[in-house]
Amino acid sequence: MDLTSHLRRLPATPRIVVSGNHATPWHTLRLVDAALPEYRLWALNGQPGLPDRDGVLLETSFVGPGVRRSPRLSYVPSRLSLVPTLFASVMPPDAVVVHTTRPRQGKVSLGTEVNVLPAAIEAVRRRGGVVIAQVNDRMPWTYGDAELDVALLDVMVEADEPLTFAPPSRVDDESARIGGLVAARVVDGATLQAGIGAVPDATMHGLAGRRGLRIWTEMFSDSVLALERAGSLDTSAPIIASFLFGSEELLDWADGNERVQMTRTEVTNDPGRIARNQSMVSVNTALQVDLFGQANASRIRARIHSGFGGQTDFIVGALHSPGGQAIIALRSWHPKADVSTIVPLVDEPVTSFQMSAVVTEQGVAQVFGLDQTEQARQLIENAAHPSVREELREEAVELGLAPRAARDQGPTT
């Protein structure tokens, strides 16, 4: 049975889950879009190019640049670790479209993107839906939950599309300063979670002198390869991640590398499993952090910008890890909005809270284990931009986070 015949058997307005991030099978998705007048399209971190037309409802629990401003966006708040639960209960998919390698010995590999796809495939098989794979010679072969039996696939579409690679990351002076401060908190033998971007890259590069480091993360990029080459990683431990994105060199290194174990989201992002890692260090960022230690990493002017992602999962897991710490790293001043990122009280819904520390280019504000007055003082004196500290001291008084005399005292030592 060909692809069109399978799609015609789907119910009205079916829910289609597609590989997201930077592994979208564009050729096959265009075929699906042409065959279905109406459907729901679920993609994590959807990139530009996703079908965005009347008849398509764009569902997601993590908003990407391809759907962020769409009037057809349907944002479903959820920790990333719980998206598989959505598929198994209130939001069952009718079809899954994945991007894989060509078959080898009865299997294919999901390559760069595992994430929530195994759970979606299992939900579809239970419902008698359709699993469609775009097979691509250019997709690297990765192991773990990335490997699928060919028997799970109903249709294979051959299309050797080029893969998307990450542009080189430029680490500016502020990012380097933040990364250095974060790296200084990491001990030999720690387990790391960090994403992509200038600050995570600077943090990773600052760890080149450490030894015995392990990786348990939602995603990784070229900075992990740099640690491998520096001899910083524990070569006896697998590199655990649910997706990866980086240079062509990174994908070549991951191809056929049995140490790279691509793992389903409900495992990588399970706070209980994260907590089992010794000295787990979680490094995430935010748009704002307030004097109560609350972070907004999801919304701008009340509109959804991204979502919880894995931040809440990893913060909780890292805090419960023996010797673990959860760090929020960000610039003290937002360069585009031209505003302070340390604010009296976040004006958007809270994404996360109770981190170990907040790190900016100004310094390190310890948060966990201190009373609320000292937390606020740490954030003002050690993390906030100097130009807003006096205003923040006054706001701290009004919020009951500092004594009245504090507005006349200035910084303390």
Active site residues: 218
Q: In sequence order, which residues have a C-beta less than 8 Å from that of residue 128 and are 6 or more positions away?
A: none
**CA 109 to CA 112: how far, in whole Å?**
9
Expressed in angstroms, the distance from the first to the final Cα of the chain is 74
Q: How far apart are CA 291 and CA 412, in angstroms?
A: 17
Pairing of strands 147-149, 107-109: antiparallel
d(CA 358, CA 330): 8
> Residue 185 has which token pair?
């908190």
Residue 61: DSSP 8-state: S
CB 66 within 8 A of CB 47: yes
- Closest Cα to residue 108, out of 53, 152, 148? 148
The Cα–Cα gap between 277 and 32 comes to 41
Q: How far is CA 104 from the centre of its chain?
A: 30
Q: Is residue 325 classed exposed, middle or buried when 0-12, 13-18 and 19+ CB atoms within 10 A define those classes? A: buried
